[in-house]
Amino acid sequence: MISVKNLTKIYQVHIRQANLLKDIFFRTYKDKAALQNASFSIGENELVGFIGPNGAGKTTTLKILAGILYPTSGTVSVLGTVPFEKNHAFLQQIAFIMGQRNQLIWDLPASDTFALQKEIYSIKDHMYKKQVEMLGGLLKCDHLFDKPVKTLSMGERMKMELISGLLHKPRLIFFDEPTIGLDIFSQEIIRNFIKSYQSESRATIILTSHYLEDVKQLAKRLIIIDKGSIVYDGSMNNIIEQYSKIKLLTVVLDKTVNQMEIRAVAPPFKYKYPKVVYKVKKEELPEKMKLVVKYLPFSDLTVEDASIEEIIKQFFKEKTWE
């Protein structure tokens, strides 16, 4: 479905000089490589997490795949076409939903934007009605369709954006930070929606997010980009296994104990009675658990992987050392 080979995108950036006259008449530019020889391919029905630090080249990649930007060099094929030729048949099959952009008509109800989308994508009446009902039902927001968009909260607007973007049943969906700025409840609703929608529609989804929990919960495959280059392309489980060197050992104490007994296991990462949390290296876990049993009276004991944020931080730390 998507094939990218040696994709490069270079921006020319103006370098400001100290002298104003020189800056106006003898302007200098610097080449900034947003993407450098990136290569990957994505098949049908995949849900791929696409992550990286700020300025890594994530959004540039998505925009090239969607045809908004022209690459400097390399080849791109999406759904069998070259995206930046902006073939209408290609555009009919994709959707790009950005958490930070609003494509709803601000002063009018969302239903008007839906009607516009219906016309743009030539959606038949019965299909349109079915999609609106299905999407509105999944997101539980039918009652918001006739309210002016400007009166909706951010979470409600995001729901309308999702419905508007998916009315035409695209085969390929780009989600660029869909949960940004939303509260934790709304984030969960959006995540669950994306999961359900993908399993029903079998669309291919590329998801970028700085909330790594989105990626962990939704994507089975992860592509990590840094400074314009692909640094990881593999399964989510693989990166968790490889880079999750730390486990979180949480002990729920039965009764209060003194600090020495807590420290006898290891210096605690967090302690607020009755919970003590230790950060433990994977290979030391059996030994630490024995110490917990020996020194601490506990009613519950759990072992968790470090958060996905910690894992990705560890990944980048090790990449820096290489």
The binding site for another protein (CB under 8 A) comprises: 11, 63, 66-70, 86, 88-89, 91-92, 94-96, 98, 100-103, 105-108, 112, 115-116, 119-122
Q: Which of 223, 273, 224, 225 is nearest to 252 (CA)?
A: 273
CA pair distance 209, 52, nearest whole angstrom: 9
What is the closest distance, in whole angstroms, from the C-beta atom of residue 205 to another protein in the complex?
A: 16
Of 29 and 273, which has the nearer Cβ to another protein?
Answer: 29
Per-residue CA distances from 76 to 35, 65, 72, 73, 136 (Å):
13, 7, 11, 9, 35
What is the closest distance, in whole angstroms, from the C-beta atom of residue 92 to another protein in the complex?
A: 5
What is the closest distance, in whole angstroms, from the C-beta atom of residue 94 to another protein in the complex?
A: 7
What is the closest distance, in whole angstroms, from the C-beta atom of residue 119 to another protein in the complex?
A: 6
Question: Which value, in Å, is the radius of gyration of the alpha carbons in the chain?
Answer: 24
Of 30 and 88, which has the nearer Cβ to another protein?
Answer: 88
Which tokens sit at 284?
Answer: 């030391």
What is the closest distance, in whole angstroms, from the C-beta atom of residue 103 to another protein in the complex?
A: 4
- Whether the CA torsion 161, 205, 2, 74 is positive or negative: it is positive
Of 76 and 276, which has the nearer Cβ to another protein?
Answer: 76
Of 118 and 221, which has the nearer Cβ to another protein?
Answer: 118
Q: Which of 210, 309, 222, 225 is nearest to 46 (CA)?
A: 222
Q: Which helix (H) or strand (E) holds 280?
A: strand 275-281
What is the closest distance, in whole angstroms, from the C-beta atom of residue 209 to another protein in the complex?
A: 16
Of 120 and 293, which has the nearer Cβ to another protein?
Answer: 120
Which bin fits 80, alpha (ψ -120 to 50), beta or left (φ > 0)? Answer: left
Of 61 and 244, which has the nearer Cβ to another protein?
Answer: 61
